[in-house]
Chain A
Amino acid sequence: MQSRKTDPILQVHNLNVWYGKDQILKNLTFDVLPKQVTAFIGPSNSGKTTLVRCFNRLNDLALNFKLTGQILYKGDKLYTPKLKASKISRQIGMIFQKPIPFHKSIYENVAYSARLRGVKQSTQLDTTVEESLRKAQLWKEVYKDLQASPDILSNGQQQRLCIARALAGAPEILIFDEPCEQLDAAETPKLEAIVQSLKNRYTLIFVTNKRRQAARVSDVAGFLYDGELVEFRQTEQIFTNPKDKRTENYVTGRLG
């Protein structure tokens, strides 16, 4: 059992990504282990978002997107013509910078992703919605009126609703793409607490440009700079004992 846990869930090998003629990611190779928080830090425009969007194949939507190298998800190739992008994104959820609730009720928002994976029974939907909202620590605030529109919720509550919605789809991996960027200071610790509580059940990938946040939430961290993965190690080591000069400059605040 112990050895299985350390089998990487995502293996990235010589990943290069272009948008048109601009090379965004340069020759990345690393493994993501399950049931951990893996953070990607780096200044803006260093390719963090592009990298995580490769995992759920959201980049496929962009024009001129080109990828070489290999990404393996549980040992299987992620980029093959046979595999549909929608199938991947059902297993790899994503939370965006801006909370994006749909124009449906709170209940329907969460139930939407459960329905996508084929849950039809109303009792099963009810339990999935409640469970997901509880995991996202939003249940106590909204259980009285699940039919309300998400517009009445605060920004932070909407972001937690998006987390609940992603969880209702029963993903294996959850990607947080700078989830606190638009939240106020009081909401950020709540979100970090959720990340910690989800850690033992899901594999989490956390993108942030806040150094201290990465140090707080993650087990493993990668430092991206200008499309290169400069360092990829235990978070503690990256912050206390960086090997590369650029990493040191970044974590001490002299760069970016």
Chain B
Amino acid sequence: MKRSVLIYQSIALITLAVAFILLWSFSKGTPFVESGLTFDETAADSYAVLQENLYRMVPILLGSIFFSIAIAFYLEEWLAQTSWIYGIVAQQITILASIPSLLYGLLALYFFVLQSEKGSFFTHALTVVLLVMPITIQSTQMAIRGVDISVREAAFALGANRWRVVIDHVFPNAFSTIVAGICTAISRALAISALIIVVYFWREPALQSGDTFNVPSSVIVLLSSALLSSVISSFLEKKANLT
């Protein structure tokens, strides 16, 4: 797959998505950038709904991580790299992973905040999946490719089949790099969630006491766990590079 094609496609996709968000906000007559995010729901209720939605996303998050790893292993180990399916899937994943997470944040903002009660569980899940899966798949693919070919060959030469080679050698050798990639993806998702909550909180006068702006505790938890997971990720990456 040509690099330039990839870049143009991702630029086109990003432009389309930004255009969609801007058009949508203009058509509603709500200038997006100004503070006029006005809504008429009762605020306290929808904040609870938002939090509940966040918790409901945890199984989706874990599930999408699991599937991402499975997909990455299937792509790298079982699907021949010459096959056309590999080319298409790899291309789409690269495009999705190269979209800045801010854009996913805007999408999430649209689904979580601006439509907090209309937005279905499905749309929330889709945002999380889009945010986490491409990055996890890509980093897992890199981790698998990083396993020395000689280790594979040695195992194959002893009579191990593909499954055994993957379970006994490729996975343990790639493990810390895979976890590092997962941490990066999760910290991305957490940071975006924190951002959404802050924006949400900002526009709900009912949640603010007087003139002071109180940061919700969940934001602090989210941001600190995002920080923690990126620290773990960089530590694991360093460790993987050393061995």
Contacts and interface: CB of A to CB of B under 8 A. Distances in A.
Interface residues of B, number: 21
Contacts of B154: 96, 100, 102, 162
A103 B172 contact: yes
Contacts of B158: 89-90, 93, 112-113, 116, 165-166, 169
A63 B81 contact: yes
- Of B81, B156, B159, B168, chain A has the most CB atoms within 10 Å of the CB of B159
B18 interface: no
Contact of B159 (A96, A98, A113, A162): A113
Interface in A180-237: none
Interface in B121-173: 148, 150-161, 164, 168-169, 172-173
B159 A169 contact: yes
A180 to B, nearest CB: 17
A46 B178 CA distance: 39
Nearest to B162: A86
Interface in B78-137: 80-82
Interface in A147-174: 162, 165-166, 169
A102 B151 contact: yes
A116 B160 contact: yes
A88 B150 CA distance: 19
Nearest to A97: B150
A86 B160 contact: yes
Determine the interface band of chain A, counting residues with CB < 8 A from chain B.
Answer: 20 to 34
A247 B172 CA distance: 47
A98 B150 contact: yes
A165 B164 CA distance: 16
A58 interface: yes
A94 B150 CA distance: 12
Contact of B150 (A100, A116, A166): A100
A242 to B, nearest CB: 32
A96 B161 contact: no
Contact of A94 (B157, B172, B173): B157
23 contacts: A56-B157, A61-B153, A63-B80, A86-B156, A86-B160, A86-B161, A86-B164, A88-B159, A89-B158, A89-B159, A90-B158, A93-B158, A96-B150, A96-B157, A98-B150, A100-B150, A100-B154, A102-B154, A102-B169, A103-B173, A112-B168, A165-B158, A169-B158
